[in-house]
Amino acid sequence: MADSLNDMLKQLNDVEFVKYQFTDIQGNIREVTLTKGDISSAGTTSVDGSSVFGKIIPPTESDMLLVPDVETLQALPWKKGVARVICNVFYPPKAENEPATPFEGDPRGILAKVERSIADVLTLPVEAAFPGRQIKKFHAHFAPELEFIFVPKDYNHSRIHLDQRLQNNNYFVPPEEAVDDALQEILHHLGSCKLKKEKYHTEVTTYQCEVGVGHGNILSMADATMTTKIIISKIGERHGLRASFIPKFRKGVNGSGMHVHQNLAATLEGDEKDFNLFFDQTKPDALSDIGRGYIAGLLEHAQAITAITNPRPVSYKRLVPGCEAPTYIAWDWQNRTALCRGHSQGTHKVRVEYRAPDPLCNPYLAFAAMLAAGLDGIQNKHTLPEPDKRDFYHDNEGVRELPGNLGEALGLMSKNEMLRSRLGGFLIDTLHKLGSNEWKSYCQDVTDVDIQKYF
């Protein structure tokens, strides 16, 4: 692997520095920058895990190893002479000839582990559906829609929650010139980073925008989500704009979400294209039994995975009825008030859109949690209820709801045996500890709203 990394670097003649990037448990990008000549023959580098992972790694065992995924090596188009490579995190070998051990709290490694488990769940049902056909590979295809706000650098963002000018009438309004220029450059750089360029547009609320990241392999799309957030922030600064991914910024207006389209696919012997395993032409709506089981799993475990898809206290100020964020655990075709929304009914592109996540989530862990829930629904044959066409903002009797706050969500996550089994007890306990500390601190803060209402 090391020679492969160095060989690839030789092809990047103008690169002098290489950023080794990884993501911590709470979804923050981290990096160590090496000069091109300092990269060792092993291709790896060390990092102080006790400083990065928030006291979950004791200082007596703080050395961690960053192992680059050479397929992610990319010259940064917005920064001359600099490349980046995305890394997985390992414990260093205990002896000279022993292999490094994966760190059980590495979000990218956890997602890769859940992705590998697709074959364990799908091999038998797919072999039964395609008798005599050899399965080359299984895929999980994900496509996030990333919402965020762009405010001018001189805007007093500390008062945005009081800004009476914020309104829900901005959808598809032509953006101001600086914002339009920034969004065009963002999509240009997505293409330069070999990511699928889809589209951009203004969103419902003043200052709000959305960038589509395209669709692809689940691990690549988690990488792409982190990369896109970096590009949005960096390019926004160049155009005098400050980007924020906060999920809720003012009462009464829509917050920013990260809806995630998803389906499972397989590459079969003799076929060049992937086959969408959610598609079954014999079904009236084209949704296969695999697809139905997957959606049923999302609904079954929705309450438990919310602490991962919506990991901050402010996340739950977005999850309120009436502002296009789902709170009721149901599904339907096209229904924007439902948690799961079926897409492309009756076609070979049939898929599901999970509408709860917000852009402050760790995409590796959020994608892993959603995939794990869907796979559990298939494996344990959960029954998908009939589509529910009600407007849940006004008619929701008997429908389960998502957790109302982070404390409630963390408790449901911690008790969920499926998540412990598929994502690991270490991660679930760590998320519970870190989240509980943040939730307790949040509850103890006295805000200007408290003073205004209760002084």
DSSP 358-378: -TTS-HHHHHHHHHHHHHHHH
| Residue in 377, 343, 277 with CA at minimum distance from that of residue 143 | 343
- Residue 333 CA to residue 286 CA, distance in Å, equals 12
| Residue in 56, 27, 90 with CA at minimum distance from that of residue 429 | 56
- Residue 85 CA to residue 71 CA, distance in Å, equals 8
- Residue 431 CA to residue 169 CA, distance in Å, equals 37
pLDDT at residue 172, as a whole number? 85
- What is the full DSSP assignment across 165-186? T--S--TTPPPPHHHHHHHHHH
Grouping H, G, I as helix, E, B as strand and the rest as coil, residue 332 is: strand
Q: How many helices (H) and strands (E) does the chain have?
A: 13, 17
Q: Which of 57, 84, 103 is the last residue of a domain?
A: 103
Query: Which residues have a Cβ under 8 Å from the Cβ of 270 and sit 6 or more positions away?
Result: 133
pLDDT at residue 271, as a whole number? 86
Sign of CA dihedral 274, 279, 281, 286: negative
Identify the CATH number of the domain in which residue 209 sits.
Answer: 3.30.590.10
pLDDT at residue 1, as a whole number? 45
Residue 71 and residue 152 in one domain = no
User: What's the full length of the chain, in residues?
Assistant: 455
Residue 71 and residue 147 in one domain = no
Q: What is the pTM of this model?
A: 0.95
- Residue 76 CA to residue 342 CA, distance in Å, equals 36
Q: Which of 86, 103, 120 is the last residue of a domain?
A: 103
Identify the CATH number of the domain in which residue 6 sits.
Answer: 3.10.20.70
Query: Which residues have a Cβ under 8 Å from the Cβ of 108 and sit 6 or more positions away?
Result: 22, 23, 86, 87, 88, 89, 219, 222, 223, 364
Sign of CA dihedral 311, 315, 316, 322: negative
pLDDT at residue 57, as a whole number? 58
Residue labelled with tokens 């901005």 = 170
Long-range Cβ contacts of 164-169 (<8 Å, 24+ apart): 165/206, 166/205, 166/206, 166/207, 166/249, 166/250, 166/253, 167/205, 167/206, 167/253, 168/204, 168/205, 168/253, 168/254, 168/323, 169/204
Residue 65 and residue 160 in one domain = no
| Residue 135 burial (CB count, 10 A) | 16
Per-residue pLDDT for the chain (455 aa), expressed as one digit of tens each?
A: 445 788 888 888 889 999 999 999 999 999 999 998 888 776 888 888 766 665 455 555 568 899 999 999 999 988 899 999 999 999 888 887 788 899 999 999 999 999 999 999 999 999 998 898 899 999 999 999 999 999 999 999 988 998 888 888 888 888 889 999 999 999 999 888 877 767 889 888 899 999 988 889 999 999 999 999 999 999 999 999 999 999 999 998 999 999 999 999 999 988 888 999 999 999 999 999 999 999 999 999 999 999 999 999 999 999 987 777 899 999 999 898 999 999 999 999 999 999 999 999 999 999 999 999 999 999 999 999 999 999 998 899 999 999 999 999 999 999 999 999 999 999 999 999 999 999 999 999 998 889 989 99
Residue 85 and residue 227 in one domain = no
pLDDT at residue 56, as a whole number? 54
How many domains are there within the chain? 2
Residue 415 and residue 449 in one domain = yes
Q: What is the residue range of 386's domain? A: 112-454
- Contact between 236 and 152 under an 8 Å Cβ cutoff? The reply is no
Residue 277 and residue 156 in one domain = yes
Residue 266 and residue 118 in one domain = yes
